[in-house]
Amino acid sequence: MTVLTNTPWDELQIGMEAEVRRVCRADDFYVFANITGNMNPKHFPRFKDLDGAALQEPVAPAMWVSTLISSALGNKLPGPGTLYKSQCLEFFERAFAGDELIIRVRVTEKLPDRVARFACRVDTTDGKKLAEGTADVHVPTVRIDYRVDDIPGLIVQRHIHFDALLSEAEPLPPIMTAVVAPETEDSLLGPLLGYDHTLIHPILIGSAARIRDAAGKIGRDISGFDIIDEPDHARAAALGVRMVNDGLAAALMKGNLHTDLLLGEVVKRDGGLRTGRRLSHVFVMDVPGLTHLLLISDGAINIAPDLETKVDITQNAIDLAHTLGIAEPKVGVLSAVETLNPKIQSTLDAAALSKMAERGQIKGALVDGPLALDNAVNIQAARTKGIRSLVAGQADILIAPTLESANMLAKELTFIAHAEAGGIVMGAKCPVILTSRADDDQARLVSCAVAALYAHRKPLT
């Protein structure tokens, strides 16, 4: 619990000073835009100038910077009970998301009617002068102690990144998708949702009787769909793989069968969908409060990957990020700590992956590790630990040490932090859509959208 204490008029002396510090976050700029109605795109992430050059980070609105002065006046000096009379500022430089700002105020005059004049200044911690000026405020006359114990927080954005993916994928031609054993209501619903949104054109492989029965239970007429009657799941999976190899399908989708059975056909040396790279699953997540998509790997296939496997896991995630519009993804390789520890193998693997990216053995991304989760996704946590890199606090991709850790992280975000999750298997000749009975409609739909975008945009080999 935070207690704020003021300095009343009679105790206020010329020369008294106070300061506060604040890390700029892109979320702050979204909140400011919603409060003020200022939708200047220069203040939003991923904005491109007219010349097409991408800004590294969004620019902090100057008036947002000016409001930080009120935090020093209202919280520190004079403190609670202070009210503005006027403020005059001149701006010199710009702040960007990720900058840490120092806001300083100093009493310069005590004017009539209990008005105090303050000299105000805002700088970055690396010495850049942002703004300077004065503020006149009405100073309280009595002591006030205020407990700040129940100020509600804000969650910025709600799955707008998935909305953007769907808007990009829906105009594209639907991809032919071999759906293996969609013989229950939930396993049939996913491909039908993808079809309704023009993302995929499903070819239904399995027991025709069970597929039609499932369609009846959800009230759908599937008489116009291609249905291949193959009740044996192993043979149905093999048939789906063969359709991809024959060019009749551009994606594979799991229905109501064991994942191992489907992927076993995918990885067969003779007639499978191998590419020379290991398979790995990538969760694609829209997390409220994050200004970008978050990719997490590998939470479904490789149980305890060694370094060689992690190279493929990392490259697969990078390749998917490219097709989702992230030109140079920032990859945070996770461990429990952010320093090398010979007793923790994941820290050694993370350091090796980072160096391999520097040497071009992993391509198309900025890779850094080891990073603990907090300093991989939170700039302030990274700054507190003294970590300065282009990835720390801003990771687009998280590479987890093990299957358990990746799976738990993705599900914690989904069921506790209200994130939405889709995802596909990478490393095969085509995207493989794995759906779960616990997935909601949005998760199924986005998994289809991700597969469609990848199928259309993947580089030709």
CB atoms inside a 10 Å sphere around CB 258 = 13
Q: Is residue 223 part of a domain?
A: yes
Look at residue 331 and tell me whether its pLDDT is greater than 60.
Answer: yes
> Which CATH number does the domain housing residue 266 bear?
3.40.50.10950
426 and 449 in contact (C-beta within 8 Å)? Answer: no
Q: Is residue 459 part of a domain?
A: no
Q: Within this chain, do residues 421 and 288 fall inside the same structural domain, yes or no?
A: yes
Look at residue 438 and tell me whether its pLDDT is greater than 60.
Answer: yes
Q: Within this chain, do residues 363 and 447 fall inside the same structural domain, yes or no?
A: no
Cross-strand partners of 121: 104, 132
Q: What is the mean pLDDT of residues 342-348?
A: 95
Q: Measured at the alpha carbon of residue 165, what is the angle toward residues 161 and 167, in degrees to the nearest 5? A: 115
Q: Within this chain, do residues 242 and 225 fall inside the same structural domain, yes or no?
A: yes
Q: What is the Cα–Cα distance from 289 to 27, expressed in whole angstroms?
A: 7
Of 148, 174, 191, the one marking the end of a domain is: 148
Reference 122, options 61, 78, 81, 79; nearest CA is 61
Look at residue 17 and tell me whether its pLDDT is greater than 70.
Answer: yes
Q: Within this chain, do residues 113 and 130 fall inside the same structural domain, yes or no?
A: yes
DSSP letter (8 states) at residue 173: P
274 and 267 in contact (C-beta within 8 Å)? Answer: yes
Q: Measured at the alpha carbon of residue 317, what is the angle toward residues 423 and 193, in degrees to the nearest 5? A: 20
Ranking 298-312, 324-338, 341-355, 432-446 by mean pLDDT, the lowest is: 432-446
Plot region of 197 (φ>0 → left; ψ -120 to 50 → alpha; else → beta): alpha
> Which CATH number does the domain housing residue 294 bear?
3.40.718.10
Residues 6+ apart with CB under 8 A from 137: 73, 78, 82, 83, 84, 85, 115, 116, 118
Domain that holds residue 15: 2-148
Q: Within this chain, do residues 226 and 283 fall inside the same structural domain, yes or no?
A: no
Q: Within this chain, do residues 387 and 334 fall inside the same structural domain, yes or no?
A: yes
Mapped onto helix, strand or coil, the DSSP state of residue 347 is helix
Q: Is residue 305 part of a domain?
A: yes
Look at residue 64 and tell me whether its pLDDT is greater than 70.
Answer: yes
* Preceding amide of 305 cis, omega within 30: no
Q: Which residue has the tokens 């007219």?
A: 50
Q: Is residue 461 part of a domain?
A: no
Look at residue 53 and tell me whether its pLDDT is greater than 70.
Answer: no
Domain count, the chain: 3
pLDDT digit string, tens, across residues 347-387 = 999 999 999 999 999 999 999 989 999 999 988 888 888 88
Reference 105, options 127, 91, 89, 126; nearest CA is 89
Q: Within this chain, do residues 270 and 170 fall inside the same structural domain, yes or no?
A: yes
The token pair that represents 359 in the structure block: 């040497």
Residues 6+ apart with CB under 8 A from 10: 141
Q: What is the Cα–Cα distance from 52 to 31, expressed in whole angstroms?
A: 26
The pLDDT assigned to 55 comes to: 45
Q: Is residue 196 part of a domain?
A: yes
Q: Within this chain, do residues 281 and 267 fall inside the same structural domain, yes or no?
A: no
Q: Within this chain, do residues 199 and 87 fall inside the same structural domain, yes or no?
A: no
Of 87, 121, 148, the one marking the end of a domain is: 148
**Residue, of 115 and 34, whose pLDDT is higher:** 115
Q: Within this chain, do residues 120 and 32 fall inside the same structural domain, yes or no?
A: yes
Q: Note the pTM of the prediction, 2 decimals.
A: 0.72
Q: Which residue has the tokens 């013989």?
A: 183
pLDDT digit string, tens, across residues 85-111 = 999 999 999 998 889 999 999 999 999
The pLDDT assigned to 460 comes to: 64
Q: Is residue 195 part of a domain?
A: yes
Residue 412: what residue type?
E
Look at residue 308 and tell me whether its pLDDT is greater than 60.
Answer: yes
Q: Which residue has the tokens 């300061």?
A: 19
Q: Is residue 325 part of a domain?
A: yes
Q: What is the mean pLDDT of residues 61-67?
A: 94
Q: Within this chain, do residues 283 and 369 fall inside the same structural domain, yes or no?
A: yes
Q: Within this chain, do residues 216 and 233 fall inside the same structural domain, yes or no?
A: yes
Q: What is the mean pLDDT of residues 294-302?
A: 94
> Which CATH number does the domain housing residue 126 bear?
3.10.129.10
16 and 9 in contact (C-beta within 8 Å)? Answer: no
Reference 24, options 105, 152, 128; nearest CA is 128
Q: Is residue 308 part of a domain?
A: yes
